[in-house]
Structure 1
């Protein structure tokens, strides 16, 4: 038995909580985004990125729309230091992008950080120290007053060095391990730091509240954020930032509820890469907003290219089921899902819908560079008639009758199940042609002649097991006359229950396809299809295939 009694709640609810944020319905605006891929994300990699990979990744982050990018901990390693110098000296930082650097609240590290920043046009210096009860008691063995003084001393040194440099760098402070800190004490530390910086409207400070380790349900984190939001000094000149991790799998919820509770800014990574279980996934956060009609101010129009670049630079893999970005997130294998999607797409086309409401697809895949044909309807042993019919119509223009789609669906399911594989569109089309087109044994038809006399009279040259006969019969149409001739001469017992046709190309020389369904004496329906520029020839070929299906099924 797992010993759950060894664990206890380590977080602190705020002294008061109104939870007014919970009355808000959704996140109605994009926060300020800050990528920490090059720092938090990079330090989580088994093999950290090389300098060249970091440069390429930085350019990718700029391209998708980040205006604030934490580029590293320049005092931590030579690669981090040289990377920042490369960005500055090679003028790789666009004028509208601010780089951010991280430093502990320790004098020699802060000084090294400022040295690395020299020459940067715009920068955020992000200083932190740990404030949690566990860290105070177990790691530092210091009092609340001692920990607060570390933060204040760090803040003073940042201000002093920036003034000496004549740099108008912005400052950011994080009470690291905020989620394990008494909330009123965290506010006390943050306000002490703000008293040193005295932020103004044109030089705002950032107070960043990290869930360094997730310890509570998201509503608790949001209540903590709400309390800080209500009790910070200089609030109008402070950007309240969140840095959610994902230990409990709640990074997205923490961020979304935190924004509702008053946060202005989110620090996170593409696809959630970060220490332990990762940082909050900015791709998912941004696309969640997009899916509710809010501009996320991020450009993921080519999600596949972003995914591939990320995987190349980091060596990480984006899971196939990762929201929005995964290779299979739009793929429907289930027959009922496929049927609903296909009908939803048809409804959109018929009604010229302006808003997106297709069942099972939260967003239009084409918005992020995916396609309906390759990404949405996928066929395996779980698929049904709707998916198979959709593939044949979208790729090959075949509009199978409803019951024929069902029969074709069973054929595809059977092959997929036997081969334990997904079927590609060309394989499905090949199966259709093999099973439902041009089956000429045991019955065959050679020449056909028609004349009109009290309806239509058909003269049919027919074969059965190598014997040829010329037979004549009448009917109310050409196909009916041919059917009557075959039924009478070969004593076939069936009813023609379905006949449909349509053109495959829109031109004077377009081919036509015909579908025929016949019901035998036992009530089973057999199907055939015929393709020809002559619709009569196509119809007869379809009938013949259906008859041969019936004949061979009776002999099995």
Structure 2
């Protein structure tokens, strides 16, 4: 079976930048956008033009330099928003306006103070108005995760008829379980007239730690676009992590789904975003965390040294990491110690290794991690010249 293409919609520069303290200047945004294009993302959501002059300018300047990826600008279902987004996209080679409105009863009643019928009218009008400026219109049904499926289907069918090309089904609050979210996508796929003519998109938040799982469930049930961010940055607990969904698809070829992302640039891109935003990546973060390919347990170290895939399902080089790390701690064994000695140019005999190991354990009980300088000191102290 041929592999189906999953569009990667990166919103690091829009949803990701909404994190308090992570404001980026236009030159930083341009640098990240160019890196995202090199990475191979299909769509770059460059900003929310009406929100500020700076955001407007960033979308304009990014549009000037990006040649291949689609450039998307966010708007609410408000004419002024949509017009401003269109103005910001005037230089884009492949422009997209992303407009929408809340569809859950909570949003309709408490946030918008409206009715389902009026929201439906606003959704249709927004898409038709946006269509006057660009051909590619993505509609988001905010809080779709908590929206009644029958009403959500009505909205989706109406905006398709109005001219939408992409339907974004956000789990805005990160509430859904993967089974629920997958079933919602399947319901729309099976019950919305004209759904075969548009792209269904996932946009999942990580409030309960399920953003990646929900996105994968979405594409398993018919979505063909994933909206995500580098390092999973975003509002509150963050968004779907780009690096995670890309590598999940690649590590499970039986899904017959893949992106065109150059995974060897993932680590480099992660570092750029982290440094630009001043947002450290947690060490145990999947794929790009400092400990993602680090081993400190003696049992694990012995297995990895003998054959990498005993404990690593991804070759570090595939995501831009030079090699696995054998970290020497009090839990490390002789195999790891011999490996690290060999790496710094010392091939110890069994007797020498036993002597060195006895000293190593004493050092490791005092220090969290034993480094190469400590190893050289052990050899000097024990007068081992191997």
State the shift of 1:231 in Å.
1.5
Q: Which structure is higher in helix share?
A: 2
**Greater Rg by CA:** 1
**2:300 corresponds to:** 337
RCO higher in structure (CA 8 A, sep ≥6): 2
User: Equivalent residue of 2:240, what SS?
Assistant: coil
How far apart in 1 are the matches of 2:179 and 2:18? Answer: 29
Contact (CA 8 Å) 2:207, 2:237: kept in 1 or not?
A: yes
Q: Which ranges of structure 2 fall in alignment gaps of 5 or more residues? A: none
Alignment CA distance shift 1:52-1:187 (3 Å): same
Alignment CA distance shift 1:328-1:29 (3 Å): farther
**1:384 corresponds to:** 333
State the shift of 1:103 in Å.
0.7
Alignment CA distance shift 1:106-1:312 (3 Å): same
How far apart in 2 are the matches of 1:414 and 1:147? Answer: 69
Does residue 421 of structure 1 match 2:372?
Answer: no
**1:253 corresponds to:** 213
Alignment deviations for residues 94-125 of structure 1 (CA, whole Å, 9 cap, x no partner): 1x221011111112222222222224321111
**1:298 corresponds to:** 261
How far apart in 1 are the matches of 2:348 and 2:154? Answer: 69
The worse-fitting range, judged by mean Cα deviation, of 221-230 and 360-369 is 360-369
**TM-score normalised by the chain length of structure 1:** 0.65
**2:142 corresponds to:** 176
Alignment CA distance shift 1:406-1:265 (3 Å): farther
Alignment CA distance shift 1:393-1:296 (3 Å): farther
Contact (CA 8 Å) 1:336, 1:386: kept in 2 or not?
A: no
User: Equivalent residue of 2:286, what SS?
Assistant: coil
**1:109 corresponds to:** 81
**1:234 corresponds to:** 194
**2:232 corresponds to:** 272
Q: Which structure is higher in strand share?
A: 1
Equivalent residue for 1:224, pick from 184, 190, 208: 184
Q: Which ranges of structure 1 fall in alignment gaps of 5 or more residues? A: 1-27, 200-204, 346-357, 438-529, 532-556
Contact (CA 8 Å) 1:384, 1:406: kept in 2 or not?
A: no
**1:97 corresponds to:** 69
**2:315 corresponds to:** 364
The worse-fitting range, judged by mean Cα deviation, of 42-51 and 183-192 is 42-51
Alignment deviations for residues 224-280 of structure 1 (CA, whole Å, 9 cap, x no partner): 111011122222211011101111100110011111011100011001000010000
How far apart in 2 are the matches of 1:100 and 1:406? Answer: 62
Equivalent runs, 1:454-493 vs 2, <5 Å: none
User: Equivalent residue of 1:297, what SS?
Assistant: coil
Alignment CA distance shift 1:364-1:177 (3 Å): same
- Aligned pair count reads 382
User: Equivalent residue of 1:75, what SS?
Assistant: helix
What's the Cα RMSD here? 2.1
Equivalent residue for 2:248, pick from 268, 281, 288: 288
**1:60 corresponds to:** 35
Equivalent runs, 1:475-514 vs 2, <5 Å: none
Equivalent residue for 1:400, pick from 338, 349, 360: 349
How far apart in 1 are the matches of 2:266 and 2:361? Answer: 31
Alignment CA distance shift 1:209-1:414 (3 Å): same
How far apart in 2 are the matches of 1:242 and 1:206? Answer: 11
State the shift of 1:135 in Å.
1.3
